[in-house]
Amino acid sequence: MEKSEEIGYHKGALATLSKEHQELLRLLQITEQLIKAHLTALKELGVDLEEEARKSQDKSNLDDRTA
Protein backbone atom coordinates (compact mmCIF):
# COMPACT_ATOMS: atom_id res chain seq x y z
CA MET A 1 0.00 0.00 0.00
CA GLU A 2 1.34 3.42 -0.89
CA LYS A 3 1.96 6.04 1.77
CA SER A 4 -0.80 8.31 0.42
CA GLU A 5 -3.27 5.40 0.57
CA GLU A 6 -2.28 4.67 4.17
CA ILE A 7 -2.69 8.33 5.08
CA GLY A 8 -6.15 8.36 3.48
CA TYR A 9 -7.13 5.18 5.29
CA HIS A 10 -6.11 6.55 8.69
CA LYS A 11 -7.74 9.94 8.07
CA GLY A 12 -10.96 8.19 7.08
CA ALA A 13 -10.83 6.00 10.17
CA LEU A 14 -10.32 9.04 12.40
CA ALA A 15 -13.22 10.86 10.78
CA THR A 16 -15.51 7.87 11.31
CA LEU A 17 -14.39 7.36 14.90
CA SER A 18 -14.84 11.05 15.65
CA LYS A 19 -18.45 10.92 14.40
CA GLU A 20 -19.10 7.78 16.45
CA HIS A 21 -17.62 9.51 19.51
CA GLN A 22 -19.93 12.49 19.02
CA GLU A 23 -22.95 10.21 18.72
CA LEU A 24 -21.97 8.31 21.86
CA LEU A 25 -21.70 11.59 23.78
CA ARG A 26 -25.14 12.59 22.48
CA LEU A 27 -26.60 9.30 23.69
CA LEU A 28 -24.98 9.75 27.10
CA GLN A 29 -26.47 13.22 27.42
CA ILE A 30 -29.94 11.91 26.58
CA THR A 31 -29.54 9.08 29.09
CA GLU A 32 -28.44 11.51 31.82
CA GLN A 33 -31.44 13.74 31.11
CA LEU A 34 -33.79 10.77 31.42
CA ILE A 35 -32.15 9.63 34.66
CA LYS A 36 -32.53 13.13 36.11
CA ALA A 37 -36.18 13.25 35.08
CA HIS A 38 -36.90 9.92 36.79
CA LEU A 39 -34.99 10.96 39.92
CA THR A 40 -36.97 14.19 40.09
CA ALA A 41 -40.26 12.32 39.65
CA LEU A 42 -39.37 9.84 42.40
CA LYS A 43 -38.35 12.66 44.72
CA GLU A 44 -41.65 14.43 44.07
CA LEU A 45 -43.42 11.17 44.95
CA GLY A 46 -41.61 11.08 48.28
CA VAL A 47 -39.12 8.31 47.51
CA ASP A 48 -35.81 8.82 49.34
CA LEU A 49 -33.31 7.11 47.06
CA GLU A 50 -30.38 7.91 49.36
CA GLU A 51 -32.09 6.06 52.21
CA GLU A 52 -32.85 3.11 49.94
CA ALA A 53 -29.22 3.03 48.81
CA ARG A 54 -28.06 3.00 52.45
CA LYS A 55 -30.44 0.16 53.26
CA SER A 56 -29.24 -1.78 50.25
CA GLN A 57 -25.60 -1.21 51.21
CA ASP A 58 -26.27 -2.24 54.82
CA LYS A 59 -28.01 -5.42 53.63
CA SER A 60 -25.13 -6.16 51.26
CA ASN A 61 -22.59 -5.70 54.06
CA LEU A 62 -24.63 -7.98 56.33
CA ASP A 63 -24.86 -10.64 53.60
CA ASP A 64 -21.08 -10.46 53.08
CA ARG A 65 -20.44 -11.02 56.78
CA THR A 66 -22.77 -14.01 57.01
CA ALA A 67 -21.48 -15.72 53.87
Section 38-59 average pLDDT: 91
- Cα–Cα distance, 37 to 34 (Å, whole number): 5
**Is the model's pTM score more than 0.85?**
no
The answer to whether 49 and 39 have CB atoms below 8 angstroms apart is: yes
Does residue 5 register a pLDDT over 70? yes
CA gap 23, 25 in Å, rounded: 5
With 80 as the cut, is the pLDDT of residue 30 above it? yes
| C-alpha distance from residue 67 to each of 9, 61, 64 (Å) | 55, 10, 5
